[in-house]
Amino acid sequence: MLRLVTGIAGPSGFGSASTAEHVTQGIDASNLTVVITGGASGIGFETARVLALRNAHVIIAARNMEAANDAKQKILNQNENAHVDALKLDLCSIKSIKEFAERFNDLNVPLNILINNAGIMFCPFQLSEDGVEVQFATNHLGHFYLTNLLLDKMKETAKSTGIQGRIVNLSSVAHLYTYDSGIEFEKINDKLSYSDKKAYGQSKLANILHANELSRRSQAEGTNITVNSVHPGLIMTNLFKHTGNLMGLMKMFSFLMWKNVPQGAATTCYVALHPQLKDVTAKYFLDCNEWKPSKFAEDEGLAKKLWDFSNKLIDSALAKNAVTPL
């Protein structure tokens, strides 16, 4: 807590006051291609901007293409040599995710880093177009499916270049505040028991469990890819649009714990790019330092159950989307 409030650096040499530019200073990413979801605004945009500043080829994946193209232009206005593309992606739609992967593959570029950044928070109960509670669908399931679709490209890139691939899942300290069983598999779509706060915490817990299980599978396969999760910190962004007044009041009483956007993007950029993280996998980071997550987050059985459950939801969605022959 002292480090969080004061900004004192931890073992990594960085802390809560570090910015994305600070933690990537001197790093040349000119041989790397990055996909970042939700890169059109907030800490996603700052992450995209800084990675482009470090010469990475950045692909912004976003639902709102007008905002994505505006973000691309802002980056180019600041850095005319930046290499940035924008592709449409709606994480709340299995169909859109599949179409994104197809468009990405059509670019015929490598993929070194995948940053699963986009998310929604504290939404009123609603279902995605595939019939899944929208926070779980967007924050976890969409990224789970996207990662599955891009994983072969990442493996191929890591093997052909010898450069270790990295997958970064943006989680949250909110993963500590979830349902009593961690993940309510049998009640994912239950409106009566729905809590917007706990449903968000559940989806953020799922982000860590997904990263840990994918890391275990990658290590067993001998794949040269690391998978980690991060908590970016408390930042006032569009994520709080459903509870803006509540968060504003909360910020008044906890202002020392809040970060600005450049600080909020620091941990993501650190885990995605810094050479100190070579071979580091299945870890949870806060303020650019490794942190111990909840017991649920370290539960291998829960992670494996979530993996199977997620695949079943995707299979069901794909079956519904399939065109029935005449």
Q: Which residues are catalytic?
A: 194
For residue 253, how many other CB atoms are within 10 A of its CB? 8
Handedness of CA 195, 198, 202, 204 (dihedral sign): positive
Of 40, 45, 1, the residue nearest 20 (C-alpha) = 45
For residue 114, how many other CB atoms are within 10 A of its CB? 28
d(CA 36, CA 38) in angstroms, rounded, equals 6
d(CA 147, CA 113) in angstroms, rounded, equals 11
Calculate the CA dihedral of residues 111, 117, 118, 123 and round it to 10 degrees: 150
Residue 162 one-letter amino acid: G
Of 192, 49, 195, the residue nearest 115 (C-alpha) = 49
Task: Extract the tokens encoding 30.
Answer: 């000119």
Instruction: Provide the 3-class DSSP secondary structure of residue 104.
Output: helix
d(CA 86, CA 99) in angstroms, rounded, equals 14
Contact 79, 124 (CB under 8 A): no
d(CA 199, CA 116) in angstroms, rounded, equals 18
Rounded to an integer, what is the distance from CA 221 to the centroid of its chain?
23
Contact 98, 149 (CB under 8 A): yes
Contact 165, 273 (CB under 8 A): no
